[in-house]
A and B are shown apart, each in its own frame.
Chain A
Amino acid sequence: MSTSTHPDRVGEVIAASTTDFVAQCYELYQSPPLGSLVKTRDGSVELYGVVYNATTTSLEPGRRPIARGKDEASEEGIYRQSPQLMKLFRSEFSTLVVGHRQDDRLYHYLPPKPARIHGFVYLCPPAEVKDFSQSFDFLNILISNPLPISNDELVAAVLRQMSQAYEDQHDFLVAAARELAILLSGQLSQLKAILGRIRP
């Protein structure tokens, strides 16, 4: 499927709840990196989410991939010999909703309604990432939500990704670390774990 209509379109919502949504990638293995800021739209509301998990699995739950490369010199060779493989898997990514935009105002808390199924999902361009990260209010959502991956890993990944939108990444990360020090004042070991992962 072509995504030429918009270069930043990375997938389509296939499951949604108030706190998160899952999107299927148009191309196999083309999930945005862990911690990326993405967005989807429901009418006049734009929902922002951060990627916290990505999977590539068989399209049909009953069909498991088998090892095929014993006699192949390269991994690419496996796909060349079996062109159907690209049609039998799907890549998905899960995002945690961290805010929304309505009537041109940005809110760093949950939107009134979940994302729509089949809503297009776009990767936010650097300017929008910058705009969104002017406030660190979203960090609280990342720290407090139960997730299948460690919250510390996600917070660090989000901050690393966001920092790339800034010319002075160091300044951004120092500001984020200050915010974290307040949020995690009672959890020194958690704070230390996150800071260790965002050190430039």
Chain B
Amino acid sequence: MSLDLSKLAAQVGGMVARLRVGTEERNRRRQYALEIAASQAIDLADLKRKIAISRGKITWLVADLLDGLSQGCEAPPPPSEFNVLATDGSHIDVDRHKSTRCYLINIGAAWLHYGAEPSAFLDSFPRLYAEDKDLVVVPTRGREQPIEGTLLGIKRAVEECHQLAELAAGLPPDSPLLALVDGSLILWGLEAYPDFVTGAMLGEGFLRHLEELRKLGKQRRLALASYISFPRSTDVVNVLRLALCPYEPTDCDLNCPPGKEKECDKVAGVQDRELFFNLLGEGQRSPVFISQSSVVRKHYGEHQVCFSYIRLEDEVARIEMPKWVATDESLLNLVHSLVLDQCWRGLGYPVALSEAHEQAVITTADRENFWQLVESSLVAERLPTLTSAKSQSKRTRWI
């Protein structure tokens, strides 16, 4: 039976009506946030101090300031010769209804060289994980953690970065390189897992590959960045909340129990992208901020994640970079100019990322073909191909 849209129509109508009612209030809050962000009265040094003394006492994620709050910065022109390398991934998760326990990660990669002799390389790197060591993270003591679901998503991010570092090492070093991944450099999902999982995914994985890229950067001009389209983050708006807070130090639990009317709610619900869409001119980037995410503070070390917003024609993108890129003006400029250039070439989205995605994508038909290949290979070897009755019943839909 297909989804009964007629039963949903009235509910959708109700949702739209509620949104309409809230629009005016949202606009008012946005306007207020803009006024504060652009206000000359804000003392940046004092705000930095306030952020520092309130750390750990605020319920929302507040960015740390590096060089400002709202001032836009123009991009330098891109170099005459440059490379953009991007990776993106997709996966087929473990299916407990199948006879074989395995998963697949497909990393798509795009290398584009611009200049006197433009060229390109597009490829995909599918890898099957079926050995015991691939399927679980084993602690020194206690229960092992199966790699599936959210953790597989994290493992995929690690592999995207792995492939990026490997490919970057093989590229000719004579022109600057922007290495780009899709999404966040912050592996948020790890907060929910025990330390040994974080160690396996970050210390022995993601951060090791970031380090490989940083070392490569000593031999050539290399900047690493990640690109988030239509970000929902509020790290910078939360700085404004802090600026509005009448208490010092800010301590949400202590001063503002649930139900109390709060001064900072005057900018609640506003997102960073709305702020910078209005504050920045087209092509400009925001100042650089430092993420205060706990996973970054605890584990990232010199790869501490910084971010900046870039105002494009129709949207604001969030660009995340390790600190070694964000604090090197030449690399920061390279990221800014090349991300803009990529978006211009890609009609609003970095063309290298979009090609890497095209290489990585696994369609529904691909998934079916993959499982068919696994099962027919098992049959060829006369191995049992048991599947669950539930899976069978979904495939054979009788009446």
Residue ID in chain A nearest B346 by CB atoms = A82
Question: Given that A83-B112, A84-B351 are known contacts, is A63 also in contact with B358, CB under 8 Å in the complex?
Answer: yes
Which residues from chain A contact B122 at a C-beta distance below 8 Å?
84, 87-88
Q: Which of A60, A63, A84 has the most B CB atoms < 10 Å from its CB?
A: A84
Residue from B110, B118, B347 in contact with A80 in the complex, judged by beta carbons closer than 8 Å: B118
Which residues from chain A contact B118 at a C-beta distance below 8 Å?
79-81, 83
Q: List B108-122 residues whose CB lies under 8 Å from chain A.
A: 110, 112-114, 118-122
**Nearest Cβ distance between residue A75 and chain B, in whole angstroms?**
14
Residue from A66, A82, A87 in contact with B351 in the complex, judged by beta carbons closer than 8 Å: A82
Residue ID in chain A nearest B352 by CB atoms = A84
> Does A81 contact B119, Cβ atoms closer than 8 Å?
no
- Is the CB of A117 closer than 8 A to any CB of chain B? no
- Is the CB of A193 closer than 8 A to any CB of chain B? no
**Nearest Cβ distance between residue A50 and chain B, in whole angstroms?**
33
Which residues from chain B contact A82 at a C-beta distance below 8 Å?
345, 351
> Does A87 contact B358, Cβ atoms closer than 8 Å?
no
Which residues from chain B contact A80 at a C-beta distance below 8 Å?
118
Which residues from chain B contact A60 at a C-beta distance below 8 Å?
358
> Does B114 contact A84, Cβ atoms closer than 8 Å?
no
> Does A81 contact B345, Cβ atoms closer than 8 Å?
yes
**Nearest Cβ distance between residue A4 and chain B, in whole angstroms?**
18
- Is the CB of A184 closer than 8 A to any CB of chain B? no
> Does A84 contact B113, Cβ atoms closer than 8 Å?
no
Which residues from chain A contact B113 at a C-beta distance below 8 Å?
83
Give per-residue flags for B101-113: 1 if the beta carbon is below 8 A from chain A beta carbons, else 0: 0000000001011
- Is the CB of B88 closer than 8 A to any CB of chain A? no
Residue ID in chain B nearest A81 by CB atoms = B345
- Is the CB of B355 closer than 8 A to any CB of chain A? yes
Residue from A66, A83, A87 in contact with B114 in the complex, judged by beta carbons closer than 8 Å: A83
Residue ID in chain A nearest B347 by CB atoms = A66
- Is the CB of A183 closer than 8 A to any CB of chain B? no
How distant is the Cα of A66 from the Cα of B351 in the complex, in angstroms?
Answer: 14
How distant is the Cα of A86 from the Cα of B119 in the complex, in angstroms?
Answer: 9
How distant is the Cα of A87 from the Cα of B118 in the complex, in angstroms?
Answer: 12
> Does B120 contact A83, Cβ atoms closer than 8 Å?
yes
How distant is the Cα of A60 from the Cα of B120 in the complex, in angstroms?
Answer: 17
Residue ID in chain A nearest B123 by CB atoms = A87
Give per-residue flags for A164-195: 1 if the beta carbon is below 8 A from chain B beta carbons, else 0: 00000000000000000000000000000000
How distant is the Cα of A105 from the Cα of B358 in the complex, in angstroms?
Answer: 49
How distant is the Cα of A137 from the Cα of B114 in the complex, in angstroms?
Answer: 53
Residue ID in chain B nearest A60 by CB atoms = B358
Which residues from chain A contact B351 at a C-beta distance below 8 Å?
82, 84
Which residues from chain A contact B345 at a C-beta distance below 8 Å?
81-82
**Nearest Cβ distance between residue A2 and chain B, in whole angstroms?**
14
How distant is the Cα of A83 from the Cα of B122 in the complex, in angstroms?
Answer: 11
Q: List A45-85 residues whose CB lies under 8 Å from chain B.
A: 60, 63, 66, 79-84
Residue ID in chain A nearest B113 by CB atoms = A83
How distant is the Cα of A86 from the Cα of B112 in the complex, in angstroms?
Answer: 11
Give per-residue flags for B356-382: 1 if the beta carbon is below 8 A from chain A beta carbons, else 0: 001000000000000000000000000
**Nearest Cβ distance between residue A150 and chain B, in whole angstroms?**
37
Give per-residue flags for B336-353: 1 if the beta carbon is below 8 A from chain A beta carbons, else 0: 000000000101000100
Which residues from chain B contact A66 at a C-beta distance below 8 Å?
347
How distant is the Cα of A88 from the Cα of B121 in the complex, in angstroms?
Answer: 10
| With A81-B118, A84-B351 already in contact, 15 other A-B pairs whose C-beta atoms are closer than 8 Å | A60-B358, A63-B358, A66-B347, A80-B118, A81-B114, A82-B351, A83-B119, A83-B120, A84-B112, A84-B120, A84-B355, A86-B120, A87-B120, A88-B122, A88-B355
Residue contacts A-B, CB under 8 angstroms, 25 given:
A60-B358, A63-B358, A66-B347, A79-B118, A81-B114, A81-B118, A82-B345, A82-B351, A83-B112, A83-B113, A83-B114, A83-B118, A83-B119, A83-B120, A84-B110, A84-B112, A84-B120, A84-B351, A84-B355, A86-B120, A87-B120, A87-B121, A87-B122, A88-B122, A88-B355
